Chains A and B, each alone.
Chain A
Amino acid sequence: MPRPGFVLEVDRSTPPVLIWHGEGFRLERLPADRSRVVYAPEPLAPLRDPDAAIRQALVEPIGDSAPLPELLHAGMRLTIAFDDLSLPLPPMRRPDNRQRVIEAVLEMAAAAGVDDVVLIAALGLHRRMTDAELRHALGDRIFDAFAPHGALLQHDAEDPSELVMLGKTEKGEDVEVNRRVAESDLLVYVNINLVAMDGGHKSTSTGLMSYRSVRHHHNVKTLQHSRSLMDRPNSELHSSAWRIGRFLGKHVKVFQIETTLNNDAFPSQMAFLQKREWEWDVRDRATFLATSRGLDVLSPAAKRSIFHSILAPQAMTSVQAGEVEAVHASTIEALHRQQLVDVEGQSDVVIFGLPHVGPYNVNSIMNPLLVMCMSLGYFFNFYIGKPLVRPGGVVIVSHPTPWAFHPVHHPSYIDFFEEVLSATTDPLQIEKVYEERFATDEWYRHLYRTSYAYHGVHPFYMWYWGAHALEHAGATIIVGGNRKAVRRMGFKPATTLADALEMAEDQVGRDPTITYFRCPPVMLANVH
């Protein structure tokens, strides 16, 4: 029986805790009697027969939806869209959930005589996936059956001939969607839900639409009023995405399939990363020491290469299919079973240790903007109720934060960092003065459409993702980061965690209360 998540009150006998630091980790001792550590629940048992569970979900859908076989018929246009490489994290071992689900859908389509089937990677404004990444997500059989015939597409949010403007929502939000989707008799959306923000109508209204649509929910106002991003009823971003998704649903029949994973994020060789420190055995300690020493002598590129080769053993814990909102509600329940941890009250300081990978640097570099997005965007928003840190409190982030960018994946990030952040770090000012120019830059468009670059506007979203935290927290301190890069973002650099805690006292007073949110694995703090 997996143990639930819990909060450890740190006392003098508490051993040092493991804190991620990019492509590495550190053991740090936290101040006794005023620190606590939030631990994730242990991995839930996976579905015993995921393929059978998928088939059952497809024939016994939830919400107002007919079983999938009844929606399929010869002569129809069927489009299957699926989440892109930003999920799951780290990438999971084969077979990926998407492969399992799409194979099941294709079997039913074949049985119904459907021969006009197109697969679309729902990139939204993310970079295109490489063939290897598509093969990993879909499996060789699907890739080889569809890609050579031009039936495996990647959504292009900047191709005017392949987008259709369906209209506006009641709030005036443009709904401009992928043409193939708009002209399909049925859209089957295949999702992997790693965090509570994903899934539901957000899948389609982000992954299959244009910048003109996405900008309605990805902006400073919605992000400042998404409290949190992981709590849909309290998220402005989701309210907008839901309106757009519902509007799409009036024009296109959508059959949503969502899956959840357990949080078994690291292979057995690195089991210590999942374990609570006082439960480390001799082998765990030896592995930690050997790994840490080994990493110390490697170059950043070599470390990156090793860490990005990690495939997670995480496995499917639930699958639900049918009408979008009913499916998503069920998904969130399953997700909460795995991720929710009850926490009493806020603290003066919260500590986040960032790992090597986030949604936007799979097989890439976690550049300073992604550090901002991961810490103040994702980690800060891993809450329901209220943030782990009090208003005006301090966020301490552990990450090397190199002044380094992947030139192919993140070209507009480089320009954003150089031009925009050297002028201002105020999200509203950034949005007002710079967003449109970057979003409509022809060179970025070209790179997004033909190379493997994120859309020109994407670095803006990284900054907006942290807009709520920027308003809420009094200061952000980054431990062990490139000082110049840290300062460029308006944060404070610190050499050690002890230094950072001392600096935090300037903001919150002496002997502050501290919460260390020991993530990964991913969890969600239910703060009372």
Chain B
Amino acid sequence: MKALQVERSVPRFAMARIASEWKAGAGGRYGPLRLVDVPAPELPGPGWQRLLPRMSGICGSDLATVDGRSSRWFEPIVSFPFVPGHEVVADTEDGQRVVIEPVLGCEARGIKPLCPACAAGRRRHCVNLTGGHISPGLQTGYCKETGGGWSLAFVAHESQLHPVPGNLPDEAAVLVEPAACAVHAALSRLPAGVTQAGEVTAVVIGAGTLGLCVVAALSRFREDVTRVIAVAKHPHQRELATRLGATSVAEPGELRRAVRRSTGSWVLGSGQLSGGAPLVIDCVGTASSIADALAVTAPGGALVLAGMPAPANIDLTPLWQREVSLTGSYTYGPEPSAGGRHSFDLAFELAEAARLERLLSATYTLDRAAEAIEHAAAAGRRGSVKVAFDLRREKKRSFE
């Protein structure tokens, strides 16, 4: 079976890191990712199914891995070699189209009783990511036994499967997983008392797939949010952000002024704002984006890190002085503020209503992985949003 595989190779990771300094995405050519011919993964236990990927997206976390830039935090919770790809729409053996919820919690690992988080449906907080009958791996796509979406076949536990409605095209379904992450971030709770006269400005930093989906989710699911300011670098991102519901769009250097206008704040010395936005969602995760986010979060407001952050050196004085709540937003689960509906259910609704297929800009075959990775790493500059592998026409794609 053809698959793109990441090997544990220190020299290749080092080479990817060096190459990606020169050109983002160069790790796809010189790094740990290789196109290999490997046996299809075996079913690890009861309740597991074989799947044939139809489309599989390239995520920011995948790019960080391929370019050798992931945090070492992940080392104990991945197992090599692994096949990336966790944004997947796939076929089951009985002909159903499904999207997978990639987190590998207690159920998938065959662990009983479930840990309290998994029992409550919050697999993202599972404490058993290294246990059970499969190797460590926080998600499908980072575990050596499961395989991943960047291949012709992989396996998933039945608890991970979400059937795709018949009318939803693959091009939209492949965006359901990132959309579910976005829904979860968008439904982040506001600290009490932070809103003023019913006005809630939310800021979304970053207008890649995640940022744009957060904008769409805020617009659809947050009636309490009255204004959404999206921060976008590129013209096509500005246009999409507006179409998906942003009230206004600012370039990164314009953010403080945009928030000032929206919130009626004043500008103090050195450009600092007297107030700010009650809810700021950072979908980039760099030191500068987090610093920007902190600078525009209202006293007592919430700063949500939705994009996978990199190690960063940040002045936390405003966090302390303004009692900003800094929270991470990772994956999905039942959403209390949406009556307990699962983020995936909401994401399906969003994918259809917001026509998320328009975010899919380009597809590649597995043979052209290096090009695909480079394209995904430069998506903004190249006028693109989501880049994915299209596996529907791959030869030898079958359960045989």
Q: Residues of A at under 8 Å CB distance from B?
A: 414-415, 418-419, 422-423, 437, 441-443, 446
Bound complex: CA A423 to CA B242 (Å)? 9
CB of B225 within 8 A of chain A? no
Within B214-261, the residues touching A (CB, 8 Å) are 238, 242, 248-251, 254, 257-258, 260-261
The dominant DSSP class at the A interface is helix
Q: Give the nearest-CB partner of B250 in chain A.
A: A418
- Taking a contact as CB atoms under 8 Å apart, the answer to whether A418 and B258 are in contact is yes
Bound complex: CA A441 to CA B267 (Å)? 12
Which residues of chain B are near A423, meaning CB under 8 Å?
A: 242, 248-249
Which residues of chain A are near B257, meaning CB under 8 Å?
A: 414-415, 418-419
CB distance from B238 to the nearest CB of A (A): 7
Which residues of chain A are near B258, meaning CB under 8 Å?
A: 415, 418-419
Which residues of chain B are near A446, meaning CB under 8 Å?
A: 266
Q: Give the nearest-CB partner of A444 in chain B.
A: B261
Bound complex: CA A422 to CA B242 (Å)? 11
CB of B76 within 8 A of chain A? no
Q: A442-B266, A443-B267 are in contact. Are A422 and B249 (CB under 8 A)?
A: yes
Bound complex: CA A462 to CA B166 (Å)? 54
- Taking a contact as CB atoms under 8 Å apart, the answer to whether B261 and A415 are in contact is yes
Q: Give the nearest-CB partner of A420 in chain B.
A: B248
- Taking a contact as CB atoms under 8 Å apart, the answer to whether A419 and B261 are in contact is yes
Which residues of chain B are near A415, meaning CB under 8 Å?
A: 257-258, 261
Q: Within the complex, which residue of B248, B250, B260 is in contact with A443, where a contact is CB–CB below 8 Å? A: B260
Chain B residues touching A, range: 10 to 19
Q: Give the nearest-CB partner of B273 in chain A.
A: A443
Q: Give the nearest-CB partner of A442 in chain B.
A: B264
CB of B92 within 8 A of chain A? no
CB of B265 within 8 A of chain A? yes
Bound complex: CA A428 to CA B141 (Å)? 52
The proximity string for B residues 264-287 relative to A, scoring 1 for CB distances below 8 Å and 0 otherwise, is 111100000000000000000000
- A-B residue pairs in contact (CB < 8 Å), sample of 16: A414-B257, A415-B257, A415-B258, A418-B251, A419-B248, A419-B250, A419-B257, A419-B261, A422-B249, A437-B261, A441-B264, A442-B266, A443-B260, A443-B264, A443-B265, A443-B267
- Taking a contact as CB atoms under 8 Å apart, the answer to whether B254 and A418 are in contact is yes
Bound complex: CA A96 to CA B250 (Å)? 44
CB distance from A418 to the nearest CB of B (A): 4
Q: Give the nearest-CB partner of B266 in chain A.
A: A443
Bound complex: CA A323 to CA B264 (Å)? 45
Bound complex: CA A443 to CA B266 (Å)? 6
Bound complex: CA A442 to CA B257 (Å)? 14
- Taking a contact as CB atoms under 8 Å apart, the answer to whether A441 and B266 are in contact is no
User: What 4 A-B pairs come out closest when comparing CB atoms?
Assistant: A418-B254, A443-B266, A415-B257, A415-B261
Which residues of chain A are near B254, meaning CB under 8 Å?
A: 418-419
CB distance from B259 to the nearest CB of A (A): 11
Bound complex: CA A415 to CA B258 (Å)? 7
Which residues of chain A are near B264, meaning CB under 8 Å?
A: 441-443
Which residues of chain B are near A443, meaning CB under 8 Å?
A: 260, 264-267
CB distance from A129 to the nearest CB of B (A): 23
CB distance from A161 to the nearest CB of B (A): 21
CB distance from A420 to the nearest CB of B (A): 10
Which residues of chain A are near B261, meaning CB under 8 Å?
A: 415, 419, 437, 441
Bound complex: CA A346 to CA B17 (Å)? 64
Bound complex: CA A419 to CA B267 (Å)? 17
Bound complex: CA A469 to CA B383 (Å)? 34
- Which of A422, A423, A446 has the most chain B CB within a 10 Å cutoff? A422
CB distance from B241 to the nearest CB of A (A): 11
Q: Give the nearest-CB partner of A443 in chain B.
A: B266
Q: Give the nearest-CB partner of B242 in chain A.
A: A423
- Which of B248, B257, B261 has the most chain A CB within a 10 Å cutoff? B261
Bound complex: CA A61 to CA B254 (Å)? 54
For the complex with contacts A419-B250, A419-B257, 17 further pairs of A-B residues with Cβ separation under 8 Å are A414-B257, A415-B258, A415-B261, A418-B251, A418-B254, A418-B258, A419-B248, A419-B261, A422-B238, A422-B249, A423-B242, A423-B248, A437-B261, A441-B261, A442-B264, A443-B266, A446-B266
